[in-house]
Amino acid sequence: MICYLNFEFMRQVYLDNAATTAVDREVFEAMRPYFLKNFGNASEVHGWGQEARTAVEGAREKVAEALGAEAKEIIFTSCATESINLAHKGVVEAVLQQGETRDVRRKTKRPHIVTTAIEHKAVLETCRHLEEAGMAEVTYLPVDQYGLVSVGAVEKAIRPETVLVSVMYVNNEVGTVEPIAEIGRMLKKTKGIFFHTDATQAMQYLDCDVDKLGVDLLSFTGHKFYAPKGVGGLYVRTGAPLVRQMDGGGQEGGLRAGTENVPYIVALAKALELSSKFKVQSSKVMNLRDELIAGVLKIPGAKLTGHSVKRAPHIASFTIDGVEGEAVLLMLADRGIAAASGSACTSGALRASHVLLAMGVPAEVAHGSLRLSLGKETTEEEIEYVLKELPPIVKRLRQMAPRL
């Protein structure tokens, strides 16, 4: 109870926008009628159904416009994880179905995927699944100390049986922006290789025009840009082969069965429309991020992780020597500050972030990782508050640490 009251009256600073964002009020208002009044099933022919269909197709047009795509190239899903599964498994299965002609069915010539060691688990686990099922071979490319993958390394990894290259646009832990457009240009010279990007952390702030990026598939999820959790999408370029992973009705052009989540689809499109306007002002978030970075780096033993310039506007990430990230999070939470750490607590033991390890950060240093991710509502006062609270927390934790 006391804890609850504390939470209510304590200053609250939300710096975990890379994990999820609040639903924007305008977005909430846009979707509200589709719960209460216009609740029809978009597959039905009556008035309610047709109203729902009009809303879904209107949303599809808006999403397509934001991506520079055609409406028929957008598939609505439940989240980025689903989109990523559909993209990877869908392309590999489609290629395997054409096995006779492409000669990839023989063990020595399984379809080959090129991806990176720093992808989100949604990509890594999907690739592992395809490998374990004997459906694909996967190359996990290393990255440099800033989390950047090299275009040359992608090119070198390509084999005659490569069918998919999958590189994330923005890394969710360190904020590094990958050279997607450059990889896209390089892949233009190849034939039969489809290019997927996980744009989950990019949608709110970066240009996601699919032609400028040169991608064939692009995954995203609404709750990272002020739409609700439980709705996402996949862009699939016309002509890219894809086998659906959800069997059932013929919704979403036959590529994703299941009754469309009309209110959330409306919300997703509205949020994307708002983010297009906000992108113009994203320098406000970037300036606050830089102020935060400069302030945190004054703490002795604090280091920036990720690239200093090729970095998404909303992500500030660090390692702090001599402290556990989880302990910092708990003490920040005690002061009303929401943050994240790359290390995950599994069965009582701390596991260092696979992203930091891939960047060459030693495991003991990686345990001290901290991610502060800003949002469009973040204020100067909030950054000042965090910069006041964080140094004494680090000092206290270092004093408490056993000396070996």
Binding mask 20-59 for ligand PLP (x = CB under 6 A): ----------------------------------------
Instruction: Sort strands 162-166 and 302-304 into parallel, antiparallel or unpaired.
Output: unpaired
- Determine the number of helices (DSSP H) and then strands (DSSP E) in the chain: 16, 14
CA distance 320 to 317: 10
Work out which of 86, 122, 174, 203 binds ligand PLP, going by CB under 6 A.
122
Q: Is position 317 an interface residue for ligand PLP (rule: CB under 6 A)? A: no
Residue choice 120, 237, 244, 256 for contact with ligand PLP (CB under 6 A): 120
Q: Residues 120-124: contacts with CB within 8 Å, 24+ apart?
A: 120/80, 120/84, 120/168, 120/172, 120/198, 120/200, 122/80, 122/81, 122/84, 122/85, 122/198, 123/84, 123/88, 123/166, 123/168, 123/198, 124/354
Out of 64, 80, 183, 332, the residue judged to bind ligand PLP by CB under 6 A: 80
Provide the token pair at 386.
Answer: 């965090």
Q: Which is nearer to ligand PLP, 264 or 299 (CB)?
A: 264
State the Cα–Cα distance between residues 93 and 77, nearest whole angstrom: 19
DSSP 343-355: -EEETTEEE--HH
CB of 230 to ligand PLP, least distance (A): 8
Distance from C-alpha of 376 to C-alpha of 281, rounded to nearest angstrom: 9
Q: Are 340 and 371 in contact (CB under 8 A)?
A: yes
For residues 198 and 324, which CB has a smaller minimum distance to ligand PLP in the complex? 198
Judged by CB under 6 A, the stretch of 78-86, 149-157, 178-186, 272-280 that binds ligand PLP is: 78-86
Q: What string of DSSP letters covers 174-225? A: T-BBP-HHHHHHHHHTSSS-EEEEE-TTTTTTS---HHHHT-SEEEEEGGGT
Question: Smallest gap, in angstroms, from Cβ of residue 223 to ligand PLP?
Answer: 6
DSSP assignment letter at 315:
E
Yes or no: say if 171 and 147 are a contact pair by the CB < 8 Å rule. Answer: yes
Which CB sits closer to ligand PLP, 16 or 51?
A: 16
Nearest approach, Cβ of residue 168 and ligand PLP (Å)? 6
Q: Counting contacts by CB under 6 A, is residue 261 touching ligand PLP?
A: no
Q: Quick one: 74 or 323, whose CB is closer to ligand PLP?
A: 74
In angstroms, give the least distance from the CB of 82 to ligand PLP: 7
To the query of whether residue 345 is one of the catalytic residues in this protein, the response is yes
**47 close to 37: Cβ distance less than 8 angstroms:** no
Pick between residue 120 and residue 237 the one whose CB is nearest to ligand PLP.
120
- Pick from 234, 227, 233: which is nearest to 264 by CA? 227
Residues 199-258 that bind ligand PLP (CB under 6 A): 200-201, 221, 223
Task: Number of residues interacting with ligand PLP: please give it, by CB under 6 A.
Answer: 12
Task: Tell me which of 3, 127, 208, 345 is the catalytic residue.
Answer: 345
CA angle at 293 for the pair 290 and 298, rounded to the nearest 5°: 130
In the complex with ligand PLP, the residue whose CB is nearer, 81 or 166, is 81
Minimum distance from residue 99 beta carbon to ligand PLP (Å)? 30
x-or-dash string of contact with ligand PLP, 175-204, rule CB under 6 A: -----------------------x-xx---
Provide the 10 A C-beta neighbour count for residue 242: 23
Say whether residue 81 binds ligand PLP (CB under 6 A).
yes
Question: Contacting ligand PLP (CB under 6 A), which of 15, 79, 255, 315?
Answer: 79
In the complex, the residues that contact ligand PLP under the rule CB under 6 A are 79-81, 120, 122, 168, 172, 198, 200-201, 221, 223
Catalytic residue numbers read 345
